[in-house]
Structure 1
Amino acid sequence: MAGLPNDKLDALERRFESIEHAMSAGPDPEAYVRLSKEYAELSPMVEKIRVYKTALSDLAGAEELYEAGDREMAELAYAEMSALKEQIEALTQEIRVLLLPRDAADEKNAILEVRAGTGGDEAALFAGDLFRMYQRFAETQGWKVTVMETSEGDAGGYKEIIAQIAGTGVFARLKYESGVHRVQRVPETEGSGRIHTSAATVAVLPEVEDIDIEIRPEDIRIDTMRASGAGGQHVNTTDSAVRITHIPSGIVVTSAEKSQHQNRANAMKVLRARLYDEQESRASSERAESRKTQVGSGDRSERIRTYNFPQGRVTDHRINLTLYKLPQIITGEALDEIIEALITENQAAQLLAMEQGG
């Protein structure tokens, strides 16, 4: 059927069969792990390809029966042909999506950074709401959230909070969250009932390993500082806070948890993620055409979503999606509905670009 590169489907099937054969031949443990990973990645694709090919074969058989059979048999064959054509059309679309190029970072863990923007105390409170939304959403996905750095707001919430989110496919699902999130609501301290607008900025970066991004020792300066709790209380007696400056880029990362050793590890994780993000952003801007196939640019100065509490609605401006489910979204329960819509829109844009030869 038109629309699918049959030679590519055949090649994927052959590769899958060769992996099966190699795994059954008893390779060394390292090779087995590598083969298992590729096997798991190809398995859903090959399963769909085989169902698709069977449906094509069944359709050809039904068409023969329709041409050669008597009237009663032709009616049965016609009904089967209609059902098979619908199945083939659906399978074609599913396989086309599976054939789309994958983001190399999709399977990585993520570094989540939420920062209060305009709006003072209300912005910090909103940043806290957003962080809890992601935390609860992560729980529904079976992911683990580890807070790495916090700066609390004067009236609650966070001026800034950075966390690692670890699990399967974290970056693939959270990468569309980068940008400016705006809230419209009546603050608890507002006596006249006037609606305030404030904002928080979200950055979702793929967590990268040493091999993904090289940081030369001579390019960083590490300073240790005396950490203190809110209001200067609970001052540590040792210099535990760590600040790392990456001299070539000017990026500065701090971590002020209890252990100096852990602070250094955390700060290096965040630094690697930010450098990787900067590198990828530079590459993306050089590939301006390919950015048309993405939902938004991932630019964290771009306003992506509004949470309107009086109306109980959430609007994602990139895809003009409005859901009157604010309570369920802000608790993380229905966030997946927005994420799924963004993924679907991104896939549709990529498919259109492929059809147009872009």
Structure 2
Amino acid sequence: MLEKLQIVKQRFDEVSDLIIQPAIISDQQRYIALNKEYKDLRVLMDKRDQYIELSNNLAEAEEIIEEGSDGEMVEMAKMQYEEVKEKIPLLEEEIRFLLIPKDPEDSKNAVVEVRAGTGGDEASIFAGDLYRMYTKYCEGRGWKVELMDFNEGTSGGFKEIIFEVSGEDVYGTLKFEAGVHRVQRVPQTETQGRVHTSAASVIVLPEAEEFDVELDMSEVRIERTTSTGPGGQSVNTTYSAIKLHHEPTGMIVSCQDQKSSHKNLEKALKVLRSRLYEMELAKKEAADSAKRKSMVSTGDRSAKIRTYNYPQGRVTDHRIGLTLYDLQNIVNGDIQKIIDELQLAENTEKLKADGDLI
């Protein structure tokens, strides 16, 4: 373990030296990447210090017990020995997980798209419930949520809603939410009291910086229209809504959240870049035959990942077989326990795939 940590220390010392060099500071892209790496390595260095301290305490206790000259000291040493022997395996497990190579996209902000699926009006209402669940979760994490575009349902909720989440390690956390979410409950419109099943899909994209994607604006047709939807002086009066047509892919992105045409264009370009970036990532992963296939953060958008059963107060994540009877708190944003379990499952998969870390 110490040999692996020594290699990490060499890299930490190297990064510590690099981030204070003027040439690096002036290269914004590299400086940001190295700063992120420094923070991640700093956590490992703290664990390394703890590990060295525990190893020294263990060796000291063994020495006193072996010497056996002072009975009282031997008893104290035995207690210390047992205590340290318990702590070391737990710390080693923490370090193993920290040594797993991180996906460079994990530290990015995220663009989240929630779309109503099967179930008509009830699906739109459920999409609205998911949006509310995510906004409450993000608020609890101290992350910023910014609405980018939406299309309201006829009986409430949203046919589609797109929002950006900014903060620390956002994509690495929210990527586990991508897939089809299913709800089982009695809809407000149901007169017979029958339980219906509806669905909504969640897409989570790593937000692309300008240097991640070279967007050729000659291939983007910009359409300016009046905003649609309820209330507001600018609705149906000014040409502030933006629709982008990306000619090579046929991709269309709309944004009408802001009164300013310039701000809507900025947001729409951000969504377009993120979608194009995700396409490139998907191609890269498909081309890399050695890449581990994860059942947890699956790229299959049609995969049913979670069911919210209201009559039983139950939420089941089908990827890891996790069932929690805490539906009300979960739909109110308390999804951390689910994400923790998914992250643990993925890290365990990575450990199995990378046997040299075990």
Task: Tell me, yes or no, whether TM beats 0.5.
Answer: yes
1:194-227: CA deviations, max 9, x gaps? Answer: 0000000001111111100111122222222233
Tell me which residue corresponds to 2:286: 285
Contact 1:307-1:326 within 8 A present in 2 as well: yes
In the alignment, does 2:314 pair up with 1:319? no
Tell me which residue corresponds to 2:260: 259
1:87 and 1:230 map into 2 onto residues whose CA distance is 59
Tell me which residue corresponds to 1:7: 3
Question: 2:106 is paired with a residue of what secondary structure?
Answer: coil
Q: CA deviation at 1:12?
A: 2.7
- Map 1:19-98 to 2 at 5 A: 30=25, 34=31, 37-70=36-69, 72=71, 74-98=74-98
Gaps of 5+ in 1: none
**More displaced 10-residue stretch of structure 1: 214-223 or 315-324:** 214-223
Tell me the percent identity.
46
Q: CA deviation at 1:122?
A: 0.2
Question: 1:292 is paired with a residue of what secondary structure?
Answer: coil
2:353 and 2:16 map into 1 onto residues whose CA distance is 34
1:346 and 1:60 map into 2 onto residues whose CA distance is 35
Question: 1:221 is paired with a residue of what secondary structure?
Answer: strand
**More displaced 10-residue stretch of structure 1: 48-57 or 66-75:** 66-75
TM-score by length of 2: 0.90
- Map 1:86-235 to 2 at 5 A: 86-230=86-230, 235=235
Give the partner amino acid of 2:317: D
Contact 1:294-1:349 within 8 A present in 2 as well: no
Question: 1:160 is paired with a residue of what secondary structure?
Answer: strand
Tell me which residue corresponds to 1:307: 308
1:193 and 1:357 map into 2 onto residues whose CA distance is 54
Gaps of 5+ in 2: none
Question: 1:106 is paired with a residue of what secondary structure?
Answer: helix
Q: CA deviation at 1:86?
A: 1.7
TM-score by length of 1: 0.90
Contact 2:111-2:206 within 8 A present in 1 as well: yes
Q: CA deviation at 1:284?
A: 2.2
1:37 and 1:297 map into 2 onto residues whose CA distance is 25
Contact 2:219-2:246 within 8 A present in 1 as well: yes
Aligned CA RMSD, in angstroms, stands at 2.7
Q: CA deviation at 1:37?
A: 4.8
1:173 and 1:200 map into 2 onto residues whose CA distance is 20
Alignment CA distance shift 1:171-1:328 (3 Å)? same
2:125 and 2:26 map into 1 onto residues whose CA distance is 50
